[in-house]
Chains A and B, each alone.
Chain A
Amino acid sequence: MTNADTLGALLLENERTRPTKPAIREKDLGIWRTYSWADYAGNVRDFAMGLAKLGFGPGDKLCVAGNNRPRLYWAEMAAICLGGTAVPVYQDAIATELKFVLNNAEVKVIVAEDQEQVDKILSLRDGLTGLEYLVYDDSRGMAELADDPTIMSFEAVQAEGVAYGQANPAAFETAIAAVKPTDIAFMVYTSGTTGNPKGVMLSHANMVETARTFLANEDVRESDDMFSYLPLAWVGEAMYSTTVSLMCGCACNCPESPETFRRDGRELGATGFVAAPRSLEMILSEIQVKANDASGLKRWVFNTFRDVAVEIENRKAEGQPISLGMKLKRAIGEILVYGPIRDQYAFRRARWVYVGGAPLGPDSFRFFRAMGINLKQVYGSTEVSGLVTLQTDKQASPDHVGTPCDGIDVKIAENGEVLIKSAGVFQGYYKNEDASREAITEDGWFRTGDAGILESSGQLTIIDRAKDVGKLVDGSPFAPQFVENKLKFSPYISEAVSFGHEKPYVCAMIAIDMNTVGNWAEKLGLAYTNYMDLTHKQEVRDLIVEEIKRINPSLPEVSRIKRFLLLAKDLDADDAEVTRTRKLRRGFIAEKYAPVIDAFYNGGKEVEMATEVTFEDGRKSMLDTRLTILEAA
């Protein structure tokens, strides 16, 4: 493996050693277009020189906003090669969120994908103090901005770069050579379940060493294809697409658009995936809906062979023998069910699929494994460059997150918090000394904030966020996320928020899954207009009561749901109820839904609530709702 220790050096090495090997592809105008490592490096070089001409240099910040496009990756790399820092942001971030990040990071250049992103940035322009240039990828709709010298097309910057490069032949290589492994390559803003997002500074060494650890533990080949569909602003994308691809030479593949990524993924057949639990849950609920809609025979075939596969998976987990008859059935199921499912959902060539970021339900987990998908868990957070533990193929299980990788030390603090020391531990939060001091102990351990158990066998189990683990009034422990995950395993429940800390019993707010519940209602011939209308249907309420009654026995007796209500809208990142990676912002929710929580525990039957809804463009409106509290036990 390579010895290069900065991302720029890795790029030059790839240009030298594998110039014709595909580095990045994008589906554009219906066709997959391939860029080799020579093309990749050439584009980065031209753009970097263009940036240099504009006065971008070491320590400066470049923000990318948009979907996964090669040019955005090149822009990130160009900034990094010049000794600057890439600051990726979520493409669906609303204007006010974006403003905070751009100002906090003192972003000098923004590279935006299209008119939508440019418009969003221009709407904030007066409030952006450090911003000097706005560069766009897709020139559509930009004609009217042609007179503005601070707004430029990607091509124009590259053209400047070509001229600048000719005048200063070795400038690119010199700039890369001047970058030190301790320089900050990426600044990824954490979703922040409390307060404003914080800029996590990740150095070249953080990225390179973490990728090295990953490659030592997983079989990734030069000929592999990664599917770059996760938001650029997620640390996993910077790590598992950008850095891993630079380290081992495998190719990143960008889908045509967020609407087509499913089909594009199937066409591509990536060899490895890092997936969020949410996308797997969506696939599972889609499979379930489709199976229910299928004709009787097809449904029977699906159900029978699914049950066989799940049974085999469970037996394997318990170490029981598998009979010849079952193996035979599995072989038939492979042809009729498992193979086609893997093919339809883009897993045909996938040798490994990691799920991380949040827990995935055991039933869902076993389902995917049963379908022959090598699903495994990865545990990491932004502050440790996205990697702490991995499961090996043999270890794969929904019950723990695997063993810490070599070179990553994990210990459990006295309060049960998971502490980590590794080459991936970040350099601190940008301009936030207090938070940095709080997060990293004096002897260099990072506090993850997760409560966990380290088994004697070396496996790490995560229970919940340490600060969320509470106690009921009678002193019995209450882990809200544990309860919520159980609830979310129901195909009809999309999100759940449970309450119980310092309370006599456990209550929950539930957001139904519009897709599955809507489908279910249509089958029953229930007419409904929208989400809120669905939640008001007595039948839907009964359905969820039944689901909770089914789930309750799997919870410890004290943690069983006693009362609950159906929310009139799904939890939304635009309303700040969840983060962009869909983690609950508990403090905010508790405040916003205070009347609901009161009603839960004072025996109230109905709550009048005015909920504020934020639209994509930042406009807000009030939604008056009457929420009915239901009894589950």
Chain B
Amino acid sequence: MPAASTAGEVTLSVNGVSKYFGGVRAVDNVSVDIPKGSIFSIIGPNGAGKTSLVNMISGFYTPNTGSIVFHGEDITALRPNERAERGIARTFQNIALFAGMNVLENLMLGRHIHMKSNLLKACLYWGPNQREEIRHRARCEEIIDFLKLNDLRKQSTGALAYGYQKRVELGRALALEPDLLLLDEPMAGMNSEEKEDMARYVLDVNEELGTTIILIEHDMGVVMDISTRIAVLDQGTKIAEGTPAEIQADPAVIQAYLGTSH
């Protein structure tokens, strides 16, 4: 189980956020605290509001009510890029890579928030700019090694198999060196072997790099195996939260997933 998990300290707290689309309450007054170093999974049936919640954390949506506090700072009003600079990275449910670029270039792109050079400086080959480039390349190579993408370094991502594209996307998110990583269905559409690999990488990221992870995933086997804590959403509200064992035994969850007998 995640070794980096420290009791008490909270990386992110979501306080009573709601998001309405017209009359639809996609997320309704949800509060969660994400403990530092945890793998925190958010599960729930389709349309339960999982992705909306993640979009509010990463800044794509602004909540109608409530606040989001990251490392003690209220980030509710910040734009997505400002949140990224503070250490929140995400991957997308649908792959959003630059298909024409190779794996390394996609990862280097993830480093952009750490790059200091401006366009003018970048026109000079030598000097601080080159040193900076080398430093970032080295970091990207470490990620390539971490995710075992060595043989695909120079392959254009558009031509890669689905499972690899997902892995590259994870790599690009890691290139930001985030404190908090939001993974939106990283295992969707994968076969069991690819899922197993991905689960291994998610665990490795958590254990080796100490990154706190929020995971949205449909595969219950994976969620129960790797999560530290789980929150269950149903129709926009949080119906349960706890350890995997507690969630599996929770009557409200069973009802939401299996329905009641009449």
Chain A residues engaging chain B, CB cutoff 8 angstroms:
28-31, 140-141, 143-144, 256-257, 259-260, 263
Contact = CB atoms under 8 A, between A and B. Distances in A.
B101 interface: no
B196 interface: no
A302 B143 CA distance: 40
A30 B141 contact: yes
A259 B207 contact: no
Nearest to A29: B141
B149 to A, nearest CB: 10
Given A29-B138, A29-B141, A30-B141, A140 B146 contact: yes
Nearest to A262: B151
Contact of B151 (A29, A140, A144, A263): A263
B151 A257 contact: yes
A256 B204 CA distance: 21
B196 to A, nearest CB: 12
Contact of B204 (A140, A257, A260): A140
Instruction: Tell me the interface secondary structure of chain B in the complex.
Output: helix
A145 to B, nearest CB: 11
A333 to B, nearest CB: 30
Given A140-B208, A141-B208, 17 more contacts: A28-B145, A29-B138, A29-B141, A29-B144, A29-B145, A30-B137, A30-B150, A30-B153, A31-B141, A140-B146, A140-B204, A141-B204, A141-B207, A144-B3, A144-B207, A257-B148, A259-B151
Contacts of A144: 3, 207
A260 B3 contact: no
B74 interface: no
Contacts of A143: 3, 207-208
Interface in B107-152: 137-138, 141-142, 144-146, 148, 150-151
Nearest to A258: B151
B248 to A, nearest CB: 24
Contacts of A263: 151
Given A29-B145, A30-B141, A260 B208 contact: no
Most B-side CB within 10 Å, residue of A29, A141, A259: A29
Interface in B134-185: 137-138, 141-142, 144-146, 148, 150-151, 153
Most B-side CB within 10 Å, residue of A30, A143, A260, A263: A30
A254 to B, nearest CB: 13
Contacts of A141: 204, 207-208
A139 to B, nearest CB: 9
Contacts of B3: 143-144
A263 B146 CA distance: 20
Nearest to A256: B150
- Range of interface residues on B (Cβ < 8 Å): 10 to 19
B228 to A, nearest CB: 15
A30 B208 CA distance: 21
Contacts of A256: 150
A141 B203 CA distance: 9
A257 B150 contact: yes
Given A30-B141, A30-B144, A260 B150 contact: yes
Nearest to A138: B145
Contacts of A28: 145
Contacts of B146: 140
A396 B141 CA distance: 43
Contacts of B151: 257, 259-260, 263
B140 to A, nearest CB: 9
Given A29-B145, A30-B141, A30-B144, A259 B150 contact: yes
16 contacts: A29-B141, A29-B144, A30-B137, A30-B141, A30-B144, A30-B150, A140-B146, A141-B208, A143-B208, A144-B207, A257-B148, A257-B150, A259-B150, A260-B150, A260-B151, A263-B151
B258 to A, nearest CB: 33
Question: What 9 A-B pairs come out closest when comparing CB atoms?
Answer: A29-B141, A259-B151, A260-B151, A30-B141, A257-B150, A260-B150, A256-B150, A143-B3, A29-B145
A140 B142 CA distance: 12
Contacts of B142: 29
B38 to A, nearest CB: 16
A69 B150 CA distance: 16
Contacts of A30: 137, 141, 144, 150, 153
Contacts of A140: 146, 204, 208
Contacts of B208: 140-141, 143
B152 to A, nearest CB: 9
A450 to B, nearest CB: 38
Nearest to A141: B204
Contacts of B150: 30, 256-257, 259-260
Nearest to B4: A143
Interface string B197-210: 00000001001100
Most A-side CB within 10 Å, residue of B137, B146, B150: B150
Nearest to A142: B208
Contacts of A257: 148, 150-151
Interface string B43-60: 000000000000000000
A463 to B, nearest CB: 40
Contacts of A31: 141
Contacts of A260: 150-151
B13 to A, nearest CB: 27
A30 B152 CA distance: 11
B214 to A, nearest CB: 22
A286 to B, nearest CB: 16
Nearest to B200: A141
A537 B55 CA distance: 51
A29 B153 CA distance: 10
Nearest to A31: B141
Nearest to B149: A259
Contacts of B153: 30
Nearest to B146: A140
